[in-house]
Amino acid sequence: MADLRKRNLDLDSEDDKSLGNKVDLSNTIPSGTDKAPELLDATLSSLPPRWRNWVIRGIFTWIMIFGFALVIYAGPLALMLVVLAVQVKCFAEIINIGYAVYKIHGLPWFRSLSWYFLITSNYFFYGESLVDYFGVVDNRTEFLRALVKYHRFISFSLYIGGFVWFVLSLVKRYYMKQFSLFAWTHVALLIVVTQSYLIIRNIFQGLIWFIVPVSMIVCNDVMAYMFGFFFGRTPLIKLSPKKTWEGFIGGGFATVIFGLLISYVLCQYPFFVCPIEFNEELGRMTLDCEPSPLFRPQEYTVPASFAPVVRMVTGKNTVMIIPFLLHSLSMSVFSSVIGPFGGFFASGFKRAFKIKDFGDIIPGHGGIMDRFDCQYLMATFVNVYISSFIRTDSPQKLLQQIYSLKPELQLELFTALRDSLTTRGILQLPAP
């Protein structure tokens, strides 16, 4: 009796009595892997389950690929809106699992708080992007100028408002669960919002920095599935029993080849390689520029050990290569070797709560998060890669920062720059 009384005291709330030591959400979170529209399901009913899933998965993979191509055709703004929509759906799927795990009933405002923090985070991160890339536009009106100047203070104030709101909503018998969900919400924000922010920043560097990495992950996922389906014999990792070494290796080689091919094709078009910048004369975003040397063939001297072979083929010790292809090779290796670990992480997360998928919105695949688990890891890598090896100071961005200054400061900067250029002999002023 004493032990039972002690156990009851240890429970944080009445809901814990039914929670037990194990969490099984298999009947709570819907699964989309085996789900299909009724007409398609009836048409494929005669197939064995394995082949039925293969066909359904293939059909909706192609639908998503064509949808992805259509969004790219629609332009960068449509692409950013889709990224935002995907982010919101991924956040919803992760948060719904948290609600199901902790089984909170009747707590005021808690769902509203989670979404409030999502909106606050997006205001901060997306605002940072707009200030960085479109500061000259934002400073045209007094209202926008104030938002730019006090953006971080406003963001911080919004977050503090949510923090105070959370503290005031605490209920004594639910302390542990409320703080657990508070942490759950912030981890979800870290995984989803910050990564989508990095994706947006990659897009601003040029659509190629978005299309190529995303396509590599898609290719690796599809080809690993195909190689594993037809040739898989050797299990790869216990977290994901269906993954095989044959699929992992086959998908890796296919991704490297695909990455080089798609990179070569995209490098031929300024629409894909030009950074997104605001054109002051046209008054809108543009993707028109003179492609940088990164996307044009350059002559490289080959190492001495390979020189005889190259000389036999080309007659000289040099080769013409588009530099971006070398960067593409780095990204394809990452997407093939490290990228799948995003999927393994998600598999471990799902196995911890005994669920098959994050949702059922995509027949044959599961939830949105099931398809984007590796994409977020790849987005971070690409952003870090650009910052470390690619990005240089952009004259357009510097000009935007100068335009945001007050007129007297712009004049002072102009005078100082003119005097410096004249002193160094770079600028020759006409004789008075």
- Mean pLDDT, range 285-306, rounded to an integer: 83
Percent of the chain with pLDDT over 70: 83
- Strand, helix or coil for residue 300: strand
- Residue 290, pLDDT > 60, answer yes
Q: Look at residue 14 in the predicted model and tell me its pLDDT.
A: 43
- Per residue in 316-344, pLDDT (tens digit) is 888 889 999 999 999 999 999 999 998 88
- Give the angle subtended at the CA of 20 by the CAs of 237 and 3, to the nearest 5°: 130
- Mean pLDDT, range 220-247, rounded to an integer: 89
Length of the chain: 432
Determine the Cα–Cα distance for residues 64 and 58; give it in Å rounded to an integer. Answer: 10
Find, among 173, 204, 183, the residue nearest to 80 by Cα. 204
Q: Look at residue 278 in the predicted model and tell me its pLDDT.
A: 65
- Residue found by looking up tokens 């007129």 in the block: 407
- Mean pLDDT, range 177-206, rounded to an integer: 90
- Average model confidence (pLDDT) across the chain: 82
Tell me the DSSP string of 353-416: TT-S-S-SSBTTTBSHHHHHHHHHHHHHHHHHHIIIII----HHHHHHHHHTS-HHHHHHHHHH
Q: Look at residue 8 in the predicted model and tell me its pLDDT.
A: 47
Q: Look at residue 165 in the predicted model and tell me its pLDDT.
A: 93
Q: Look at residue 223 in the predicted model and tell me its pLDDT.
A: 93
- Highest-pLDDT range among 51-55, 90-94, 356-360: 90-94
CB 137 within 8 A of CB 131: no
9 pLDDT tier (thresholds 50, 70, 90): very low
Find, among 68, 169, 74, 38, the residue nearest to 112 by Cα. 169
- Mean pLDDT, range 25-37, rounded to an integer: 67
- Highest-pLDDT range among 39-43, 59-63, 252-256: 252-256
Q: Which two tokens stand for residue 400?
A: 């935007």
Determine the Cα–Cα distance for residues 267 and 207; give it in Å rounded to an integer. Answer: 11
What's the predicted TM-score (pTM) here? Answer: 0.83
- Per residue in 407-429, pLDDT (tens digit) is 888 888 888 988 888 888 887 77
CB 364 within 8 A of CB 64: no
- Residue 432, pLDDT > 70, answer no
- Pairwise pLDDT comparison (71 vs 43), residue with the higher score: 71
Q: Look at residue 10 in the predicted model and tell me its pLDDT.
A: 44
6 pLDDT tier (thresholds 50, 70, 90): very low
CB 208 within 8 A of CB 267: yes
Measured from the Cβ of residue 193, the count of other Cβ atoms closer than 10 Å reads 23
- Pairwise pLDDT comparison (254 vs 318), residue with the higher score: 254
- Mean pLDDT, range 236-256, rounded to an integer: 90
Torsion of CA 268, 271, 277, 279, to 10 degrees: 110
- Mean pLDDT, range 288-306, rounded to an integer: 85
Tell me the DSSP string of 183-229: HHHHHHHHHHHHHHHHHHHHHHT-THHHHHHHHHHHHHHHHHHHHHH
7 pLDDT tier (thresholds 50, 70, 90): very low
Q: Look at residue 23 in the predicted model and tell me its pLDDT.
A: 58
- Domain limits, the chain: 18-393, 394-427
Question: 94: burial class by Cβ within 10 Å (0-12, 13-18, 19+)?
Answer: buried
Widest Cα–Cα separation across the chain: 103
Q: Given 3-state DSSP classes, what are the helix, strand and coil percentages for the chain, each rounded to the nearest 5? A: 70, 5, 25
